[in-house]
């Protein structure tokens, strides 16, 4: 594991304008994420976890500050530039899996590859490898509604890693799963981190989920607090 910095947020501010009211979520937040890190972000509801994750994923733009990824500034990219950047660098894992209900597991996993120039045969091969990795080779042709929650999340993980992104962003990836299934998913994330060198940022409410990460940051009112030391 090298100590190269993958992600650098410099003095980020973020506020939402709702009618006349302005909600400031972040005001001068600094954060850096090293290559190969597995970071859990915890914090009370409304502390800004999802907002932070959205900015990390280029899904939402900060109001101020700079976002540097792998040595490039990304907060200045256009909307389609960001989409392209996401396709190349980010894998998302959602709480509710967000699979396309009309596509089978294999086709769901293949989706990000449609943004590449890979041939059909190459795509098929990659999908098979990813299915194997998440231990769902026998479910390739199943539709999402024929899969359990855990299986659906594994399909989503396969989709997130299929185009080999550097960073995986997970928002409550186990929030909708039972303890046992959650552990399986978390172990899978751990494997991706340790064996495949994926950098992972995971938002969670669950302290047990956070234990799977290498380190945990606590967010409170838009600032990181040293909860570990206090505890």
Partner 1 sequence: MTSIFSQIWAVVAMNIRSLPRRLWMSLAAVFAVTVVVAVLLSFLSMARGFSQTLEGAGSESTAIITRSGSRSELNSSMSNETVKILSTAPGIARDANDNPIYSAELYVIVDGIKRTSKTEANIPMRGISPVGFDLRENVEIIEGRLFTTGRNEIIVGAGVLREFEGFEIGKELRFGNTEWTVVGVFSTGGSAFESELWTDARTVQTQFRRGSSYQTMRVLLETPGDVSGMVELVENDPRLNLDVETEAAFFAEQGEALSYIVIVGWVISFLMALGALAGALNTMYTSVSSRAAEIATLRALGFSNTSAFVGTLVESVLLSLIGGAIGAFLSYIFMDGISTSTLGASFTQVVFTFSLTSDLFINGVWLALIIGVVGGFFPAWQAARLPVMVAFRQGN
Ligand X SMILES: Nc1ncnc2c1ncn2[C@@H]1O[C@H](COP(=O)(O)OP(=O)(O)OP(=O)(O)O)[C@@H](O)[C@H]1O
φ/ψ of residue 165, rounded to 5 = -75, 160
25 near ligand X, rule: CB under 6 A:
yes
**Min separation Cβ 110 and partner 1, Å:** 9
Nearer to ligand X, 95 or 104 (CB): 95
Nearer to ligand X, 23 or 191 (CB): 23
**Min separation Cβ 161 and partner 1, Å:** 12
Q: Is 199 left (phi over 0), alpha (psi -120 to 50) or beta?
A: beta
Beta strands (DSSP E) in 172-214 are: 199-203
Residues in Cβ contact with 101 at an 8 Å cutoff, skipping those fewer than 6 apart? 143, 144, 145
50 near Mg ion, rule: CB under 5 A:
yes
Nearer to ligand X, 46 or 197 (CB): 46
- At residue 126, the 3 state secondary structure works out as helix
Give, as one character, the DSSP assignment of residue 143. -
Subset of residues 43 to 82 that bind ligand X, contact rule: CB under 6 A: 43, 45-51
Nearest to 158 by CA among 127, 199, 200, 190: 127
The entry of ligand X, partner 1, Mg ion, none that residue 86 binds, CB within 5 to 8 Å by partner kind:
partner 1
Applying CB under 8 A, the residues found at the interface with partner 1 are 50, 53-54, 57, 59-60, 79-80, 83-88, 90, 92, 94-103, 111-112, 114-117, 144, 159, 171, 176
């Amino acid at each position: 594991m090298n100590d190269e910095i993958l992600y650098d947020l410099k003095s980020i501010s973020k506020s939402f304008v709702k009618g006349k009211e302005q909600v400031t979520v972040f005001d001068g937040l600094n954060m850096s994420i090293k290559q190969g890190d597995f970071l859990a972000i915890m914090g009370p509801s409304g502390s800004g976890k999802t907002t932070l994750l959205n900015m990390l994923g280029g899904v939402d733009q900060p109001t101020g500050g700079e976002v540097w990824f792998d040595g490039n500034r990304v907060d200045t990219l256009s909307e389609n530039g960001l989409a392209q950047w996401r396709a190349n660098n980010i894998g998302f894992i959602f709480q509710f899996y967000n699979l396309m209900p009309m596509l089978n597991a294999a086709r769901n996993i293949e989706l990000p590859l449609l943004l590449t120039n890979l041939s059909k045969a190459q795509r098929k091969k990659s999908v098979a490898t990813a299915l194997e990795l998440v231990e769902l080779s026998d479910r390739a042709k199943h539709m999402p509604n024929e899969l359990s929650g855990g299986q659906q999340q594994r399909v989503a993980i396969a989709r997130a890693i299929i185009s080999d992104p550097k960073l995986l962003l997970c928002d409550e990836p186990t929030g909708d799963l039972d303890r046992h299934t959650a552990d399986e998913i978390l172990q899978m994330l751990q494997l991706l981190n340790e064996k495949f060198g994926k950098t992972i940022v995971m938002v969670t409410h669950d302290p047990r989920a956070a234990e799977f990460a290498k380190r945990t940051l606590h967010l409170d009112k838009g600032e990181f607090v040293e909860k570990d030391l206090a505890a």
